[in-house]
Structure 1
Amino acid sequence: TVPEEFAELIRHLKSNVSNIDQAVISVHCHNDLGLAVANSIAAVQAGARQIECTINGIGERAGNAAMEEVVMAVRTRKDFFNSVYTGIETKHIQPCSKLVSSLTGFFVQRNKAIVGKNAFAHESGIHQHGFLKRKDTFEIMDPADIGGEESELVMGKHSGRNALQSKVQELGYTLDQDELDRLFQEFKILADEKKEIFEDDFHTLIQKQKFSVEQQNTYELGSMQCEFESGKVPEAMVNLVSIDKQEHTASASGDGPVDAIYNAIDKITGLSCKLLDYQVMAKTKGQDAQGEVTVRVKHEKREILGKGAGVNTLEASALAYLNAINKLLLKTKSGPVEGSELPGP
């Protein structure tokens, strides 16, 4: 059915069934034509007072009316739905949506209304420019109302200079006009190769404008030793060479050899990072294959990706962690980080 036809059905019941006012008319719509929510709220306008709906719209065939869409339609258009309310605490919508998706294994499509990843994301240059000047130009809801995070400017090939400048400032950098122009050109080249540009990509592009290759690395790996024996606590000794050519050596123990290496590096740099993810992939074939280690670490509120490669996995692990540390330290040279100031070398 379609909204007009369904609403007329409800009006017919209200007009022709005796004692209908003593009953609550409930509607249960399926989404075969993508009209489940539209039919449901049309029924409410005609006199229905209960909607059977589901979180994320999950259900038989194409699904049922999505609860979050019904709730936010009623909440956002109070001028239209002035005689009804839902009583739903909307700030729990996004967390609940994620929980249902996790438990059922049904992923929410990116462009899903209200709870989709792209629901509050803007990539078009014109949209981003308008959004930066006035949010309600392109958003009729605040993502905080559904328990979501702030709106996101998705940086891609359609983004313009205004969005890029806003992103640069958000990351804490200050660029002059020439640097911004060169950054914009390199950003466009990279955006043609990647659908979405991530924060690490921006740091790399910006730092390329601000610093030489030599300036980008506060520390380089000089040498390292690692001892591991069953039943004993692993120990590591690491030697780092700082940008001023001074050597720094520290020893540490850990839960494993990699942990011991990272603890030794932390002693030298003065940073203490939480390891969120650690992955090893073979880049070449054979017994002497070169491995690439990727780590994701967190310092205060900032997450950084580091990469290192080599035949020796432990050495590659040290290089990956050091790569992430150098990114953190370089950030302090060019602008503030979230949280307290990071100690230097």
Structure 2
Amino acid sequence: MKTVNISDVTLREISHLADAGLGFNKIIKIARLFDQLGVDIIDCPPIENLQEDSLLLKSLAAVLKQSRLAVPVGVTAEQLEQTCAALEKTPDARLQVMLPVSTVMMEYELHLKPSQLLELTRTLIEAARNHTNDVEFIAEDATRAREDFLQEVVNTALDAGATSVTFCDRQDGYLPYEFSAFIERQLANIPRLQEVPVGVQCGSNVSLAEANSLAALDAGISVLKTSVIGASGICNTINLARLERLRSDLPIKTRLEATLAEHLADQILVLATPDSERSPAAVSGKGLPEATAEESEHVFTSEDGADTINAAIQQLGYTLNAEDQLRVYEAFQEIAAGKSVSLHELDVIVAETSMQVSPTYTLEHYAVTETSAGAFCQIRLGLEGGILEGLGSGNGPIDAAFSAIERIVGHRFELDDFQIRAITQGHEALGEAFIRLRYKGLLFSGTGLSTDIIGSSIRAYVNALNKIANEESIQSR
């Protein structure tokens, strides 16, 4: 029985949607579910913000037990170096070189001639191999390319060090028997494809993604790119849940948890689907599961009772004692008297109001240095009349600051959520940082205010750290 690896493109494919609304926390939740489901590779969006994306990728890698991350390197040397810098703390990630190979898209997207694309392919893959031993070459519009040129590009990619190859049929350009013959020709005419994993990503514009994917499996490929929102009109790719339903009738095996596949895929679907795209005609074929308060952006008013608010707090992942529940509800009522309160705003209220403890640690000083080699941060924390000092490094100043704090306390906390927002305007605008750390299964949130986003981020971390220290003190009594 053939083993087939699953590479899911959900996060990458929806990243271009303006209303996707995938914050730090949602992305981590989705990745956890993919990991639990048994997906082999999670395809991530390209790097856009080095500082934020570095933190996100490091946090994702920390929570994954089975799945691995894959990140596109872009099409320039600068984009590739930025991607590699973001993955400095994520050494097991795969790098992806994604390039159009049809004449039209080569010239329209990249303004390159065939000879120039061959050189770009070689340059990007060789540079990527300097950072990792796992580089995937993705021919984005393989079925629209001249086959002799496609084979030349793939051979160039393999010569440069590509360790896997994916052929994309984004437009449903072939019927299943035609696609099977196409794959067979590539495997026959590029002998070295027998030495590396070969995958496909099939479009579903005319509902042929499943049929073409199965035809490709029969032709000899071993990797399928899927999506939980596949065939939805948002992402034209074979649907993960449908594939799992078909798998029992096929001579293949995957790491997907068969008994959990549809349930977990539905949970991911709710998190990943933009609100404007949600409809009963959802991907699973049965309609969307009922949205939770977080996904439906439920708002609360002054008419909501304490039981309702406490239930929402539990849904956010907090475990509060009766005193903190009362304190949060009173703070909520003060705000709700003049406006409705969103779930995110309730999250901030919990962070600012609950578990208000006398600080175990106080921020005394911090200094940040950024060089071509990365960022460094020196932090001094006050503890019981003494001073603790730590030096951390990272891909950005905030990453370095968090690393310095972790060195001081001797523990690396799981970052569950991290957000920065401006709360006033102008040159001296105040910025608020919100952070949520997971420790021994519990969530501890903190907030920090400063005209400096690095300072507000450090203060938020220390705020959450003090709540953890207080909890440890209570449990040790």
Normalising by structure 2, report the TM-score.
0.34
Larger radius of gyration: 1
Q: Which has the higher contact order (CA 8 A, sep 6+)?
A: 2
